[in-house]
Chains A and B, each alone.
Chain A
Amino acid sequence: MSGDGIRLLTPEGERVPHPDYPFDPAPEELRALYRDMALARRVDAEGVTLQRQGELGLWPSLLGQEAAQVGSVRALREGDRVFPSYREHAVALGRGVDPLALMRLFRGVDHGAWDPDAHDFHLYTLVIGSQTLHATGYACGMAKDGADAAVIAYFGDGATSQGDVSEAFNFAAVWDAPIVFFCQNNQWAISEPNERQTRVPLHQRAQGFGFPGVRVDGNDVLAVQAVTRAALDHARSGRGPFLIEAFTYRMGAHTTSDDPSRYRDAAEVESWRAKDPLLRLERLLRREGAADDAFFAEVAVAGEALAARVREGVRAMASPAPEEMFDHVYAEAHAGVDRERAAFAAYQASFAEEG
């Protein structure tokens, strides 16, 4: 195993078989993986642009993490449940969440109001690490129900420092919960590099809690899919949790509010550019004659069309009516909210009277 983890595809696009993770996707599957990654990258770039243009308040870019996200979401079966952090845009798309639903959150129109049940994709969680406990509880519930399904919880390298994440590891282990902890180690938590968060490689944390953990090359979509599939099988078969550390890199800023030139070297970023997840799959596709120029051109066109739809959709996105903030605070009537809603309406109406 290289320092980058289990690998089925080299940066040069050559296959390297792995005895534990046999995986030989058909050409159309390879093309689908490429397409998913390319479309996610294009939507992500549009998010950055729209933020620059003032259409979004913020955008956390997934650039560089496409393989980790697409490979893992493609390993899921229907009925498996995803608990994302806030950067899992490619996972969201893989679960059929409309990119505009993500944009609504970052435009400040809602807090991420897609239907978690419709997509088996929970809401984004911005408080670092919290969702790993929800995911563990959900997985426990699945096991109690006898469901033939598993949960996958996404979080970052920085998140592993939070107490919640260690608690989730332990609860999941003690309960044999059917959950895959999927840590995207993108090397940075805003300005803090891995060494500020951990003294051991993150996948080794699992051992101390009593379940398996592996590092996978997070920029190798084939390895990610193969390892995640095996981990989900492990969880579904009642053998408890599994930790995957997807070793990858945050190519962009932490978010559009961040300026990484203050804390990391351009040379480091460059060294990771050579491991680009899309480029290596493109090399494989071309090498094996599984895709030609026409295919890549067609994907690019589809990406532009999707980006245009996102752009127009965001620009046309109206702000909610102000009184909507009083909706859904509670599931049942609450006199305090009702009183304030009425006072707010009267206050708003007073402006209308004044004209």
Chain B
Amino acid sequence: MAATRMTLVAALNEALRSVLASDPKTLVMGEDVGRLGGVFRVTDGLQKDFGEGRVMDTPLAESGIVGTAIGLALRGYRPIVEIQFDGFVFPGYDQIVTQLAKMHARSRGRVRLPVVIRIPYGGGIGAVEHHSESPEALFAHVAGVRVMSPATPSDAYWMLREAVRCDDPVIFFEPKRRYYDKGEVDVDPAAGERQPPAHTARVVRPGRDLTLAAYGPMVRTCLDAAEVAAEEGHDLEVVDLRSISPVDFATVERSVRRTGRLVVAHEAPVFFGAGAEIAAHVAEHCFYHLSAPVLRVGAYHTPYPPSRLEEEYLPGIDRVLDAVDQALAH
């Protein structure tokens, strides 16, 4: 089957549709996911096609949503939970951190909780408070949940399918400002065979002079930055990390050993962010290959500002290139 061009939202919808069709134990649950199809329409039409028993509008309570998803998983179901916005996952954070993440280890492997928690995240859409946050580090810090974030429609499709298939809980961060980006998606199972596993990173632009590592919404920003840098004669490599827990350090190391320079970019605040973990790892393992300190680009240690300031708050092409220039100056 040929690839089709579709938005990231449509790709997620197709992925949900395919898992609902193929595995009767899968369930979609969350606020407004039924009739409305979710506030971003990711679940559009699913309740109509699979019924209210498979696609469930829940009461407005995130702790309840995550907690009951855990119970359903204990009973053999594979719940795919939608949290409406990044800033609203926190009533469910207790259930994620103290229950979902630990059950497998506590039971010495007897209890598996294949729960996927989908969270639209990140800023750049001019939204009000609590609708633009990037809390991935708060989840990556928790052992027992996997954390991933696709950057393209194709990855959205295949990574979500893999997240559902995974026997561990997965926090699936969806880059909401890229929701309406279009890309080729080949939904043929044979294409699935060719997909790299979701926990691996991918070099999405090869280059010699410096490695830019990013995930989710920042991948496109980094690719755009690399285009600009190319005009100035700098050949940047862009690595899409895709998975934040685990991090595919091998791919990052391989890249850094060739380029000798690394800039890590994310929308989340730099302070105690994912970039810190990657920078520390690379310093520990690639020290003698580095020609410059590893630099991080991200947001500031402030609450997400009112939307009129988000352009200054979020790292854009300019801030990425500024870090690139600093690293290349060494």
Contacts and interface: CB of A to CB of B under 8 A. Distances in A.
Interface residues of B, number: 38
Contacts of A108: 126, 128, 306-310
A262 to B, nearest CB: 6
B309 A322 contact: yes
13 contacts: A105-B128, A108-B310, A126-B130, A127-B88, A127-B90, A127-B91, A128-B88, A163-B61, A190-B31, A190-B36, A191-B57, A197-B60, A337-B302
Interface in A102-141: 105-111, 126-128
Nearest to A105: B128
A310 to B, nearest CB: 18
Q: Chain B at the A interface: mostly helix, strand, loop or mixed?
A: loop
A127 B64 contact: no
B302 A325 contact: yes
Nearest to B63: A163
B59 A161 contact: yes
B122 interface: no
A354 to B, nearest CB: 11
A320 B306 contact: yes
A4 to B, nearest CB: 23
Interface in B186-205: none
Interface in B13-38: 31-32, 34-37
B301 interface: yes
Interface of B: 31-32, 34-37, 39, 57-61, 63-64, 87-88, 90-91, 126-130, 271, 300-303, 305-310, 312-313, 319, 322
Nearest to A130: B91
Ranked 6 nearest A-B pairs via Cβ: A108-B307, A191-B36, A161-B59, A322-B312, A319-B308, A158-B60
Interface in A290-306: none
Given A320-B309, A322-B309, A163 B91 contact: yes
Contacts of B126: 57, 108
Contacts of A320: 306, 308-309
B308 A58 contact: no
A337 B32 contact: no
A325 B57 contact: no
